[in-house]
Structure 1
Amino acid sequence: MQTEILPEFLDTADGREADAILRNCVHCGFCTATCPTYQLLGDELDGPRGRIYQIKSVLEGELPTRVTQLHLDRCLTCRSCETTCPSGVRYARLLDIGRHLVEERVRRPLFERWLRRVLVFALSHAGRARALIGLARLLSPLLPSALRAKVPRSRPVGHWPRPRGRRRVLVLGGCVQAAATPATNAAAARILDRFGMDLVEPTGAGCCGAVAHHLDAREDAMRAMKRNIDAWWPEIASGCEAILVNASACGAMVKDYGELLANDPSYALKAARVSALARDPVELLAGIEDLSPLGVSGGGRRVAFHAPCSLQHGQRIRSVVESILVRCGFVPTQIPDAHLCCGSAGTYSITQPGLSLRLRDDKLAALVSGAPEVIATANIGCQLHLDAGTEIPVVHWLELLDPDRVDPGHSRS
């Protein structure tokens, strides 16, 4: 694609990066075939190619409007288009740059500005998220059924094995996952314990920064990234083996630290090291030949595995979780259109509720088509979003491998 980027943009790192990304695009349109919002709305401006043209126009001097902002807001950042693109266009990174440019030039209505700040404030801190969820559970009997369904189910956490001076793996505590489903990290600790690994959550670390980053709260996102690096660095310097991130969206974010902080002289090298150490749990378990120490027997139980976009498109990890489930005796069902997003997409289910619910309904129809006994996924956002729309238990797939697992069919309380 030929570009005529304004000099004022080409003089910036973002502008030069955007120009390089745009020049890789060949207008083929393959991306529209796998774009969830284009499939729903049928509007070229609500597909990757259309959004690319809108960002290009802004970089070339066209003034953006609220309509431009709306089309960019509607993107899920699912990155399915990146998987499809034959030219390797880094669309998600271009979208981040384009959204920031538009945000600087188009003032949002007061309610939108307020909502975005509240989401960053409440969801980027485990303590605040925990208080919010606790209040929602307390008031659950008084809530309308649609809101009550969104309250995360309460599940037993179980014990966390004490470190015993063995192979050392760090874990991201996170924010919403730590508050809504603390059993996920505890299950990971019990699983790794069976294979001689200590899972350690360093104090001082917290949200990965993804919520703020995708809502264009850049300073908040940078503070979160740097805080985590500072908290992890003593353990990294002493030889920890990996940084485990059990929410795939957070994992995709941490793996991008090196790129996002590449121009920060104080953090560039440390951020690159953190990204190199970041692992999704499936990356650790896939390399273990004998899973028998877990003592897990799926007994032919049918599991519908929803592969989050952040796992299959963001981290490019596909069909590995399913293979582990098979090795443990579970039977993964076939999922039609498994590449499509469930509509959670971080805060998308709050900022774009109509589109999000349509996508969730389609995804749940695909997931239940194979008559599963349980639905498993790899990301907290997807887990909560899907769980609110079905009576079938929705769990993190690690819970199925947990040596001390409890049947996940718990009611909301």
Structure 2
Amino acid sequence: MGGPAPPRPAPDRDPAGDGARARIRLDGRLRGRDRDDLFLARPRQADHRLDHLPRPAGDGGLPRADLAPVHADQPPGRPRLRRPRPAAAPREERRVTPEAVPQVTTHETPLRRFAGEFRENRVALAALAVVAGIVLLAVLAPLVAPQDPYDLAALSLRDARRPPGFVGSGGYTHWLGTDAQGRDLVSAMLYGLRISLEMGLLAGGLALAIGTAAGVTAAALGGRIGGAMMRLVDLQLSFPAILLAFVLSAVLGQGKLQLVAALVAAQYAYVARTAHGAAAAERHKDYVAAALSTPLSGARVLWRHILPNALPPVIVVASVQVASAISLEATLSFLGVGLPPTEPSLGTLIANGFQYMLSGRYWISVFPGLALVVLVTAVNIVGDQIRDQLNPRLRR
């Protein structure tokens, strides 16, 4: 009772006579340096002691010379570490920017591009609105005018030269006064704008057609004939337009047709010179030579190929000539060689009231003069904008 119990005897006999059995422990080389984690052998029967079961082919967990030795806490059979190599380039972040997103573009026509560029200039846009408003008032003059200035039966000399705001015998207010014949100045100015625009557009259109035809034909003919045609144009350009129009109006007499003829004769030379220069520049280009090498006639090449490409500078000059024609008509009417006094154009109204300026009746000439200045200025601004857009050398 007083000491430790003696060790128990082994219950089994010597295992030398047992059959083949599996190994109880792994090879000591797979364990730690001190082999302190090996399983102790116990006197028991091992499983599968008669024969080994099939297993996958391999190294059995034992280290080989071609495998790197591993530590006890690392699984065997792993691939070796990669050799040192250059660092990989940093991965760029792909960001979707508005520029990278495909934009759906629509085909922009030349007219749409021209209108878009015109809208960028607010001054020209305002001038175009003024011109459009004046044209609308001139067209609707018979409907919006409070009085018909051509109806002599409705006029009264008792209402002549009345100041602005006067209530006439007809019962309506003359907001801008009356002229020397007793006509309502608002009505006379609306009809005067109508006549001035009619003269300017008609004379400008005819000058455009005649000048373009003369200039392009001279450029196409060339040689002595074309040179002679342009010498006549240069001779006419040596005279001031106002002087030539005054002489022709005095010779032809007063009237709308006579005034239009004088304005066209004084202005077509500017268009002809411009058209000749543009057509001559186009005539020496390769596409004209290629067109002439085909069976097409010279006249067809001229009007279908040369003329369309020479029109932009000609249109620019023609737009400026419209304003010049309006000014020339007013000047000739003011000087007494334009429209007769019965035609209330702006120039005629200014001339009728000029003799009353010193007597204090300024409105007869001032208001038509202001209307003329606004109209000519607006047309000039629109013409300058058209020139800037159609002339590639002046494009901003």
What interval of TM-score do these two structures reach, taking the shorter chain for normalisation?
under 0.3
The normalised TM-score by structure 2 is 0.23
Structure having the larger proportion of residues in strand: 1
The normalised TM-score by structure 1 is 0.23
Larger radius of gyration: 2
